[in-house]
């Protein structure tokens, strides 16, 4: 069965330090991967999707099919990056686009 | 555009009762998906509605049912509530275009507590 794994429940980093959130998936085909973010008291919102290959708020993520990973990275963390981050996956063969989410990683950026 | 809206914000019910949650999609969207997010977990897909029909369903019992109206809004109904149904229920809307459902936008959720 397809599965998304985020191994870190909590990631604590200092402001200005690099941050990397890990996401691994299990699927033999071509998936579509997303990162969603939830800031305190706000709704879940899309941060980026791998097919867009864009950088949002300084974050980037590269799909590595060999390692079945889609890690999220930012070279210099800011305090406003403190939030809950979810990696999500959908099958490219699924026209309805059901999303499967990881358990999430809480990021805390301290000054 | 207010985006996806959900009501109510919070709800407290007792075991065995029934509950109805409501969702209005983002303007221009025609597809609604529902997710359950238990504490400390990522959202889990319940089902999805398009053109007033359930198109896809996750691993949830028949106690969970839904409906979509001609104006694309949707309801999630849960019968015979169990303590384990306590969770944040998220609605997401998207546009079904060229045979594919596009990016999902989420509502703020309804927090259901079952006592």
Beta bridge partners of A90: A32
CATH of the domain at A26: 2.60.40.10
pLDDT digits (tens, 9 = 90+) for B5-40: 999 999 999 999 999 999 999 999 999 999 999 998
Q: Does the bond joining B109 to the residue before it have cis omega, within 30 degrees of 0?
A: no
pLDDT digits (tens, 9 = 90+) for B88-112: 999 999 999 888 888 899 999 999 9
Q: Binning pLDDT at 50, 70 and 90, where does residue A54 land? A: confident
- pLDDT at residue A104 tops 80: yes
Average pLDDT over residues A88-94: 87
Using the structure block, give the residue that is written with the tokens 């997710």.
Answer: B35
Q: Binning pLDDT at 50, 70 and 90, where does residue A69 land? A: very high
Phi, psi of A79 (to 5 degrees): -60, -35
The count of CB pairs under 8 A between chains A and B is 60
Picking from B20, B21, B45, B19, the residue whose alpha carbon sits closest to that of residue B33 is B45
What does DSSP say about strands A10-14 and A105-110: parallel, antiparallel, or unpaired?
parallel
Q: Which residues of B touch A88 (CB under 8 A)?
A: 42
Please give the Cα distance from A68 to B49 (Å, whole number): 30
**Domain count along chain A:** 1
Of A44, A97, A104, the CB nearest to B94: A97
State whether A98 and B90 contact (CB < 8 Å).
no
Domains of chain B, each with CATH number or no CATH: 5-114 (2.60.40.10)
Supply the range of the domain harboring residue A32.
3-110
- Kindly give, in sequence order, each residue whose CB lies less than 8 Å from that of residue A11, ignoring residues fewer than 6 positions away: A19, A21, A105, A106, A107, A108
């Amino acid at each position: 069965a397809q599965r998304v794994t985020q191994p870190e429940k909590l990631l604590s980093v200092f402001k200005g330090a690099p941050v990397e959130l890990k996401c691994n998936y299990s699927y033999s085909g071509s998936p579509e991967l997303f990162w969603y973010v939830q800031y305190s008291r706000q709704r879940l919102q899309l941060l980026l999707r791998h097919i867009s290959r864009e950088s949002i708020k300084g974050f980037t993520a590269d799909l590595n099919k060999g390692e079945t990973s889609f890690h999220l990275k930012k070279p210099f963390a800011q305090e406003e990056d403190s939030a809950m981050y979810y990696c999500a996956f959908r099958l490219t063969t699924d026209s309805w686009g059901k999303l499967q989410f990881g358990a999430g990683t809480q990021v805390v950026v301290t000054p | 555009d207010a985006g996806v809206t959900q009501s109510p914000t919070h709800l407290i019910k007792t075991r065995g009762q029934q509950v109805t949650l409501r969702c209005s999609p983002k303007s221009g969207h025609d597809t609604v998906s529902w997710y359950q997010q238990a504490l400390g977990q990522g959202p889990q897909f319940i089902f999805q509605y398009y053109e007033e029909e359930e198109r896809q369903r996750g691993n949830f019992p028949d106690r969970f049912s839904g409906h979509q109206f001609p104006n694309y809004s949707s309801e999630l109904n849960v019968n015979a509530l169990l303590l384990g149904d306590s969770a944040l229920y998220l609605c997401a809307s998207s546009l079904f275009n060229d045979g594919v459902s596009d990016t999902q936008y989420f509502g703020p959720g309804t927090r259901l507590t079952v006592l």
